Amino acid sequence: MSSFSLEPASIHDGDDILAMLNEIGRGENGFHNHAYNLTWKEYKAYLNHCERNSKGLSLDKGHVQQTTYWFRQDSYPLGVIKLRHELNDSLRRQGGHIGYSMRPSERGKGYGKVMLQAVLNPARALGLDKVLLTIFISNIASRKMVERCGGVLERSEGGICYYWIELTTSQL
Ligand SMILES: CC(C)(COP(=O)(O)OP(=O)(O)OC[C@H]1O[C@@H](n2cnc3c(N)ncnc32)[C@H](O)[C@@H]1OP(=O)(O)O)[C@@H](O)C(=O)NCCC(=O)NCCS
């Protein structure tokens, strides 16, 4: 039986993660992949940046503390998911607590729901009692995925759906 895991980005990550990030491309539907088409040296600098951001260090202007996780099935990387430790006004409008992308060759297999469920544990460990997800109205796969994970639509405005997932102990 296969097992799924989430692990935070680390300077020690290898070419399997880089291959996944290249397959994901520049990003879509509001998800930005800053690690597309990088040289090895640039990739290592990116990983260092992720590690530091996870500790609240070297944050870009207007950014909050954020941990980037790789989602794996056994050892194979399937996707990336970013957890913002808090919201600011910009994230409240667009971005929310959580952003993600599955590598295109592994989409539509149910893994997105597993990945999102998995990140709710570290979110809870941060002391968050609910998380915000902002999703373009047209992004049906992402909306379904969030709804399957308990997301409740608060409102839709300006082409964006605002979903909250309550992090109750019953989801542990
Ligand atoms: C959103 C995304 C992570 C979903 O990952 P996934 O592994 O394909 O999702 P799942 O297979 O778990 O499917 C989740 C739900 O969406 C449905 N779904 C999947 N792909 C779909 C599609 N292309 N059209 C409509 N529904 C779709 C599934 O049937 C499932 O619903 P169900 O529970 O009713 O069966 C993936 O499509 C992706 O990486 N998209 C690009 C990046 C992106 O949009 N990020 C989100 C920004 S808010």
Atom 7 of ligand 1 has which residue's CA nearest to it? 112
Atom 17 of ligand 1 has which residue's CA nearest to it? 141
Q: How confident is the model at residue 165 (pLDDT cuts 50, 70, 90)?
A: very high
CA of 41 to the centre of ligand 1 (A): 32
Q: How confident is the model at residue 22 (pLDDT cuts 50, 70, 90)?
A: very high
CA of 102 to the centre of ligand 1 (A): 9
Record the pTM.
0.96
Whether the predicted pLDDT of 171 surpasses 80: no
What is residue 169's predicted lDDT score, i.e. its pLDDT?
A: 59
Atom number of ligand 1 nearest to Cα 113: 12
Atom number of ligand 1 nearest to Cα 135: 48
Amino acid occupying residue 15 = D
For tokens 């709804």, what's the residue? 147
Q: Are 90 and 62 in contact (CB under 8 A)?
A: yes
Amino acid occupying residue 145 = M
Ordered strands of the 130-136 beta sheet: 130-136, 160-166, 152-157
CA of 111 to the centre of ligand 1 (A): 9
CA of 108 to the centre of ligand 1 (A): 6
Q: Which of 85, 84, 109 has the alpha carbon at shortest distance from 31?
A: 84
The binding-site residues of ligand 1, defined as CB within 6 angstroms of any ligand atom, are 28-31, 100-102, 107-113, 135, 139-142, 144-145, 148
Q: What is residue 149's three-state secondary structure?
A: coil
Q: Are 81 and 115 in contact (CB under 8 A)?
A: yes
Atom 14 of ligand 1 has which residue's CA nearest to it? 145
What is residue 1's predicted lDDT score, i.e. its pLDDT?
A: 80
Give the Cα separation of 56 and 15 in Å (integer).
26
Q: Which of 84, 100, 111 to mutate to test the pocket of ligand 1 (most atoms within 8 A of CB)?
A: 100
pLDDT tens-place string over residues 53-91: 999 999 999 999 999 999 999 999 999 999 999 999 999
Atom 4 of ligand 1 has which residue's CA nearest to it? 112
Q: Which domains does the chain have, with CATH numbers?
A: 4-171 (3.40.630.30)
